[in-house]
Structure 1
Amino acid sequence: MSNAEVPREPQTFALWREAQDTRVRTRLGGIYYLLAWLLTWLFSDTPTELLAWGFTGAVFFALMFALRLLHRLPAKETPQALCTWLDRHWALVLLTALAWGLVHAWALSDPAFASSRLIATLSTVAFSTALAFNFSMRKGRAIAALLLLYLPGLLALALAWREQHAILITLAFFLSYLLLALKRSHREYHNTLTLELELREQQQSLEQLSRTDSLTQLGNRYQFNNLFPVLVANAQRQSESMSLVLLDIDFFKRVNDEHGHACGDACLSAFAERMRQVFRRGSDALLRLGGEEFGVLMPNTSLEQACLLAESFRQALAQHGFTVQDNSLPLTASLGVGCFDPQRDDNAEAFFKRVDDALYKAKGTGRNRLVQT
């Protein structure tokens, strides 16, 4: 999965990471329950007499293994879908743990398994160790799985206390160790997850900085160059309208020359804020393309709608201007507006040039006007 496909929202990312880790760590684990059962059965004293039970157990553990493999992650990685997937996958893990715990208890209490009793016990130790160190994402569920693996066997040993007390005490001590190890593994897993979330947040912040104009907090030319071709391609593919507004502050050099660059910067910030007030739809992308030139990308917007918004911006700016640092600045802007037309525009570059030509026509014919194309 590419970085673009990884969920960006922290809670969703944490669930996605847990689901990914759970699937990877349980993918092949189920086969060992099947192998452990086959060894416990086939090396028992009377495998032929246990033939029906042997095949039943083999089918059950093979089914659990197959269900783990077939349980794929949800296509829509929403928090609800990921939680549902995790609940169902853990249900398979817990059911398998319970089944093996019962197998272990059976092997400990039935004389028919005297020859393979050690195999069942060692398998229980192996499965529980894997659980403690590899499935600590959900501590409560991992503890439940450990208890399901151990308690049936410990009960069987307790019922034969005189003969089995040494093994019972040893397994009980090992279970207590695994519970402590699970607690530590759980803490380390979530510390690692927290660190990964912090690193992703820093990466997203740096990415946002690289795409944002530091003065106006609008998107910068880099973001425009990445976003504009994508929006044009989407509009062309889906046969939807896509408008572009280019704005240039008239005679901006005079502001810097007469009032200083600090005032000029404040003016650019005020201009950007005025743009946010007019082009405030969630789908509009506002950008500073460089110097005193700005742009607005307007998906699903006709030429008439774009011209209406752009003209209202131009008129309000011409009427009110800005008051910046106690300076009244009667600013105006020239605008070029166009809508993508596959019949006229071969690609995004051709569309941009057409609108840019309209902007320069507005500047060349007196400024403070809008030219549509």
Structure 2
Amino acid sequence: MTAIQERTNLDGLTDIYNRYHLEEVADKWLLEAAHEKTNVTCLVFDIDKFKSINDKYGHLIGDDVIKLVAKTCKELADLETTFVARFGGDEFVILLRHLTSTEVMAFANTINQTLAALEIPIEDSLLSFTVSIGIATNRNGELNSFRELFKHADSALYNAKENGRNQIRLYE
């Protein structure tokens, strides 16, 4: 891949992959998983009450929060089994492949706990935040597209939001 192609696959703010490249990789991973009879899991998460962060501290601080989340997720990712992307706004997607349910939950808990422990200095205080995570797994190629998998994970995310935020929910 050329430097120009690589750059078009990256989100301008966070320097992690963008939504369009995510969809390309996801469909490829799902096709491979169908042939190999393996799992692909989609974690969809966003920053809880992000609008109030922007409203209280301004969009530049909001951007700092988004960049910190992206950087942290990228650092926690295993390049062999993990793909991290910004879906849009304060929403992120992490694809996981070849992991058991136990490994997926351990990874999701690590993301949740690590992000909740972060703080951004603002004037004379520190800003902390939490995330809500929705998870859906395509077992043995049962779903045909990333859109279906994402829809299930997004539904689980909304369930987490409706039930108090700062939690992980599985699509059932």
In the superposition, the TM-score normalised over structure 2's length comes to: 0.90
- Identify which of 143, 158, 162 aligns with 1:360: 158
- Name 1:321's counterpart in structure 2: 118
Q: How does 1:194-209 map to 2 (within 5 A)?
A: 204-209=2-7
Post-superposition offset of 1:283:
3.1
SS in 2 for 1:246: strand
Structure 2 partner of 1:213: 11
Is residue 336 from structure 1 mapped to residue 120 from structure 2 by the alignment?
no
Cα pair distance change 1:282/1:347, threshold 3 Å: closer
Who is 1:192 aligned against? none
Q: What corresponds to 2:42 in structure 1?
A: 244
1:19-58 equivalences under 5 Å are none
Residues 1:343 and 1:288: Cα distance change in structure 2 (over 3 Å): closer
Q: Which has the larger radius of gyration?
A: 1
Q: For the residues of structure 2 that align with 1:334 and 1:221, how far apart are their CA atoms?
A: 19
Q: Does the Cα contact within 8 Å between 1:256 and 1:264 map onto a contact in 2?
A: yes
Q: Would the aligned equivalents of 2:87 and 2:93 in 1 still touch at CA under 8 Å? A: yes
Amino acid at match of 1:349: R
* Contact 1:322 1:329 survives alignment (8 Å): yes
Structure 2 CA distance for partners of 1:344 and 1:239, relative to 1, 3 Å: closer
Deviation by residue 1:4-48 (Cα, 9 ceiling, x = unmatched) = xxxx5xxxxxxxxxxxxxxxxxxxxxxxxxxxxxxxxxxxxxxxx
1:158-177 alignment, distance < 5 Å: none
**1:233 alignment counterpart:** 31
Q: Is the 8 A contact 2:31 2:141 kept in 1?
A: no
1:308 to 106, 113, 117: 106
Q: Residue 222 of structure 1 corresponds to which residue in structure 2?
A: 20
Name the structure 1 match of 2:82: 284
User: Distance between the aligned counterparts of 1:311 and 1:347, measured in 2?
Assistant: 26
* Structure 1 or 2: more helix by fraction: 1
Extract unaligned runs of 5+ from structure 1.
Answer: 1-7, 9-203
Q: Which has the higher strand share?
A: 2
TM-score (norm 1): 0.43
Inter-partner Cα distance in structure 2 for 1:250 and 1:360: 11
Paired AA for residue 53 in structure 2: V
Q: Distance in 1 between matches of 2:5 and 2:13?
A: 16
In structure 2, distance between residues paired with 1:338 and 1:267: 25
- Structure 2: 5+ residue runs without aligned partners? none
In the alignment of these two chains, the number of paired residues is 170
Residues 244 and 339 of structure 1 are in contact (CA less than 8 Å); yes or no, is this contact kept in structure 2?
A: yes
Task: Determine if contact 1:335/1:359 at 8 Å carries over to the other structure.
Answer: yes
Does the 8 Å CA contact 1:219/1:288 hold for their aligned counterparts? Answer: yes
Q: Secondary structure at the match of 1:297?
A: strand
